[in-house]
């Protein structure tokens, strides 16, 4: 059994044991003398089980101690339920003692989160990387960190990026893709239609149920923010060809850094990559109609909304695919000229 699977099984087993202890404690409360019950049950639920959770789950996996706080509050709620009142036994005193501990944990972790964010921000100008590194500190899982970072990036690009310039380093040549395939035209059309549609749907649904209308409107506004954020990210995160590498991006949805020495070919149609299996491809073309495919000699790592994947071919839409292919060819030729002398020297 792998280490990851063993940790996952142990976590599930521990959570199942905690649930069983919670259920047993609540069910057996009427059978315990009240003077003992009012002391033992809160201590078990609010101190014992959270402490075991920290020692057996949080600490070995280097999770944030913030995850212990919900366990304490679950224990408090179940203690109040079993004892019949939030003022029973030592519950008020124990809660008063634990709140400062929780505040101290939260303050310490918030300082660590801020430091992690500042460190990531100092390492580069890409907001996606800032949020990804910060979320990795909190959740320690690549897929969860990627999804959370994408959500935070959407709000950043939609609300805070209007004075920012595209993320391009001095040595890189940028290729835009936000106009490819009519994407930006579609976004402009939605920008005109969505406000009218949101108001109309809200008025229509509110005649049937006001809370449902509020929920539908909130979801519609969130969808609009998501579309605006992704459109802004497509403008500010162009595809670039640099010295020795190509950085592929598609809004907040994908990023890959590929050495030009690993690029086998740049195909300008789907028919040219027929030999590549579907499982080895990622299609990020506008409306799934890419006008350029990068085919690699060996699989490369691609960071997506659902975590990292390894593929041999990535399809993208570029405003000028021929110029993009020519730039990669030029970068590959330049890379060959730089490495050739060292190869000759080694052989000699």
Would you state the pLDDT for residue 116?
92
pTM here? 0.76
Q: How many residues does the chain have?
A: 348
Would you state the pLDDT for residue 180?
83
- Summarised one tens digit per residue, pLDDT across range 206-238 is 888 888 889 888 988 888 888 888 889 999 999
Which helix H or strand E contains 296, and what residues bound it? strand 292-304
- Summarised one tens digit per residue, pLDDT across range 26-41 is 666 566 666 666 777 7
Q: What is the DSSP string of 260-292?
A: GGGEEEEESSGGGGTTS-GGGEEEESGGG--SE
CA distances from residue 323 to 73, 80, 243, 330 in whole angstroms, order as listed:
59, 68, 16, 10
Would you state the pLDDT for residue 85?
80
Which helix H or strand E contains 157, and what residues bound it? helix 142-159
Quick one: CA dihedral 133, 137, 140, 143, positive or negative? Answer: negative
In 3-state terms the chain splits into helix, strand, coil percentages (rounded to 5) of 65, 15, 20
* CB burial string 19-55: b at 16+ within 10 A, e below: eebbeebbeebeeeeeeebbebbbebbbeebbeebbe
- Summarised one tens digit per residue, pLDDT across range 141-182 is 777 888 888 889 999 999 988 888 887 877 788 998 888 878
Q: Where in the chain are the domains?
A: 3-115, 167-348
What would you report as the CA-atom Rg of the chain, rounded to the nearest whole angstrom? Answer: 27
Residues in the chain, pLDDT under 50: 1, 340, 342-348
- Residues with Cβ within 8 Å of 150's Cβ and at least 6 positions away in sequence, in order, are 128, 252, 253, 305
């Amino acid at each position: 059994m792998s280490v990851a699977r063993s940790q996952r099984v142990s976590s599930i087993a521990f959570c199942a044991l905690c649930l069983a202890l919670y259920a047993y404690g609540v069910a057996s409360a009427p059978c315990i003398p009240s003077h003992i019950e009012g002391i033992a049950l809160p201590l078990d639920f609010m101190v014992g089980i959270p402490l075991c959770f920290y020692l057996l789950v949080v600490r070995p996996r280097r999770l944030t101690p913030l995850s212990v706080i919900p366990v304490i509050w679950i224990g408090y709620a179940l203690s109040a339920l079993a004892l019949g009142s939030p003022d029973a036994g030592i519950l008020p005193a124990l809660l008063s003692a634990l709140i400062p501990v929780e505040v101290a944990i939260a303050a310490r972790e918030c300082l660590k989160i801020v430091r992690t964010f500042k460190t990531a921000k100092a390492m580069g100008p890409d907001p996606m990387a800032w949020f990804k590194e910060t979320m990795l500190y909190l959740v320690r899982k690549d897929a969860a960190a990627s999804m959370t970072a994408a959500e935070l990036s959407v709000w950043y690009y939609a609300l805070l990026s209007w004075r920012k310039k595209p993320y391009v380093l001095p040595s890189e040549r940028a290729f835009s893709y936000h106009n490819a395939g009519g994407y930006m035209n579609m976004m402009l059309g939605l920008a005109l239609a969505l406000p009218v549609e949101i108001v109309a749907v809200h008025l229509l649904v509110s005649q049937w149920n006001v809370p449902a209308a509020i929920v539908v409107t909130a979801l519609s506004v969130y969808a609009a923010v998501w579309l605006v954020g992704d459109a802004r990210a497509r403008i500010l995160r162009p595809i670039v060809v640099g010295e020795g590498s190509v950085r592929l991006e598609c809004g907040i949805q994908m990023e890959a850094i590929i050495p030009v020495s690993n690029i086998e070919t740049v195909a300008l149609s789907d028919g040219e990559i027929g030999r590549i299996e579907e499982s080895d491809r990622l299609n990020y073309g506008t409306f799934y109609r890419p006008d350029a495919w990068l085919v690699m000699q060996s699989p490369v790592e691609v960071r997506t909304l659902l975590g990292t994947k390894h593929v041999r071919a990535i399809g993208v839409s570029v405003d000028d695919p021929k110029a993009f292919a020519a730039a990669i060819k030029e970068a590959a030729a330049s890379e060959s000229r730089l490495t050739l002398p060292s190869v000759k020297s080694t052989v000699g």
